[in-house]
């Protein structure tokens, strides 16, 4: 089968490898749609495992099932999670599924930028979801990124009426805007350095947009009735975005670090000021099976209409171009690879 092998952001090659052979409890999935995630082009994060077939935002059709598989069958249209928790350890039992050791060590074989993947038994048991008829394969490739957004807003304690500031209007920022709008947010303000993305932020639900180079805290206060934001969501990895977030959150509010910095970067938190003003700072990584189920229903019902976010649909042989589009961050939002297109 054909795969897109990642060596670095500027070197993604079309190569051949055998179709994975499945064993008992496993399934073979024909990948129909596979989204390129922002983390796929986070080179410091990915290059240490290169060469590797990346891609974890997938939807496809089961073409073979192993002995003992009863949950799904050949021909089912599915989304498969690449990382899955054990659901039995102390972390999972306390609701912290994304720090489960199993979640950090599981994956399907190879990555989603391939014609076929093998889902191991635990991924079949804990991370394979049948797509409702209303969800296309393209839309199914959004289950994973939307589930991460669902998890982020859930742990941040989002509630209707919350004023939201989203720093960075790439794909994750736009999904946060769309989910917040669908969930009854108050005023939503978004930032970015790109006029194209600011226009997209407004298109997908932001009430106001601010260029990231301006005095963001002052403008948030002006646009939000004299108050800073209840919930600030950082969706950009630049240290400047994190510093803006710390200055833009209102008393009693929360800063959600959805993006991460480069390794070794330290964020200066004004501990005394935050202690006095009851401000929470927390990260959010990945998602749980529950969040995936919520994401599927949000997409199925149309409450979060993900399809308009796709700006490029590319065949497998153009995966390198997809990576270039993502790293350049120009006039593109979501790039979906279609291995059999």
pLDDT (tens digit per residue) in 214-229: 999 999 999 999 999 9
User: Can you count the helices (H) and strands (E) in the chain?
Assistant: 13, 15
pLDDT-derived band of residue 320, with 50, 70 and 90 as boundaries? very high
Q: For residue 47, with 0-12 CB atoms within 10 Å meaning exposed, 13-18 middle and 19 or more buried, which class applies?
A: middle
CATH number of the 157-283 domain:
3.40.50.720
| pLDDT > 90? residue 34 | yes
pLDDT for res 273: 95
| pLDDT > 90? residue 78 | yes
pLDDT-derived band of residue 341, with 50, 70 and 90 as boundaries? confident
pLDDT (tens digit per residue) in 225-278: 999 999 999 999 999 999 999 999 999 999 999 999 999 999 999 999 999 999
pLDDT-derived band of residue 80, with 50, 70 and 90 as boundaries? very high
Angle formed by the axes of helices 171-182 and 143-155, nearest 10°? 60
Q: For residue 95, with 0-12 CB atoms within 10 Å meaning exposed, 13-18 middle and 19 or more buried, which class applies?
A: exposed
Q: How far apart are CA 205 and CA 210, in angstroms?
A: 14
Q: How far apart are CA 240 and CA 287, in angstroms?
A: 26
pLDDT (tens digit per residue) in 54-66: 999 999 999 999 9
Q: For residue 225, with 0-12 CB atoms within 10 Å meaning exposed, 13-18 middle and 19 or more buried, which class applies?
A: exposed
CATH number of the 2-142+287-338 domain:
3.90.180.10
Question: Percentage of the chain surpassing pLDDT 70?
Answer: 100
| pLDDT > 90? residue 324 | yes
**Among 200, 175, 185, 207, which Cα is nearest to 298's?**
175
How do the domains of the chain map onto residue ranges? 2-142+287-338, 157-283
Report pTM.
0.98
Rounded to the nearest integer, the mean pLDDT of the chain is 98
Task: Give me the mean pLDDT over the 12-33 stretch.
Answer: 98
For CA atoms 248, 253, 256, 261, the dihedral sign is positive
pLDDT (tens digit per residue) in 100-127: 999 999 999 999 999 999 999 999 999 9
pLDDT for res 121: 98
pLDDT (tens digit per residue) in 271-305: 999 999 999 999 999 999 999 999 999 999 999 99
């Amino acid at each position: 089968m054909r795969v897109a092998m990642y060596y670095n952001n500027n070197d993604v090659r079309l190569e051949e490898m055998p179709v994975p052979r499945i064993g008992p409890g496993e399934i073979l999935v024909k990948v129909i749609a596979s989204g390129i995630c922002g983390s796929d082009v986070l080179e410091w994060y990915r290059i240490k495992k290169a060469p590797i077939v990346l891609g974890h935002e997938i939807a496809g059709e089961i073409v073979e099932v192993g002995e003992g598989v009863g949950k799904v069958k050949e021909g089912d249209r599915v989304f498969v999670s690449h990382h899955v928790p054990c659901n039995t350890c102390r972390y999972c039992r306390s609701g912290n599924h994304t720090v489960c050791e199993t979640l950090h060590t599981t994956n399907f074989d190879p990555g989603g930028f391939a014609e076929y993947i093998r889902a191991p038994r635990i991924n079949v048991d804990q991370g394979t979801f049948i797509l409702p008829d209303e969800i296309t394969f393209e839309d199914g490739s959004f289950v994973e990124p939307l589930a991460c957004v669902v998890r982020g807003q859930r742990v941040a304690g989002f509630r209707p009426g919350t004023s939201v500031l989203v720093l960075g209007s790439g794909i994750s920022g736009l999904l946060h805007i769309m989910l917040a709008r669908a969930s009854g947010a108050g005023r939503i303000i978004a930032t970015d350095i790109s006029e194209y993305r600011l226009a997209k932020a407004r298109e997908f639900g932001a009430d106001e947009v601010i260029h990231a180079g301006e005095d963001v805290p002052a403008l948030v206060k002006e646009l939000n009735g004299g108050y800073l934001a209840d919930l600030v969501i950082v969706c950009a990895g630049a240290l400047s975005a994190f510093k803006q977030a710390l200055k833009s959150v209102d008393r009693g509010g929360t800063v959600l670090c959805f993006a991460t910095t480069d390794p070794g970067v330290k964020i200066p938190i004004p501990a005394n000021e935050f202690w006095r003003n009851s401000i929470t700072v927390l990260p959010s990584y990945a998602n749980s099976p529950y969040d995936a189920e919520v994401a599927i229903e949000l997409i199925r019902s149309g409450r979060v209409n993900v399809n308009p976010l796709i700006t490029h649909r590319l065949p497998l042989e153009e995966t390198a171009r997809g990576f270039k589009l993502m790293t350049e961050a120009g006039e593109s939002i979501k790039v979906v690879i279609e291995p059999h297109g």
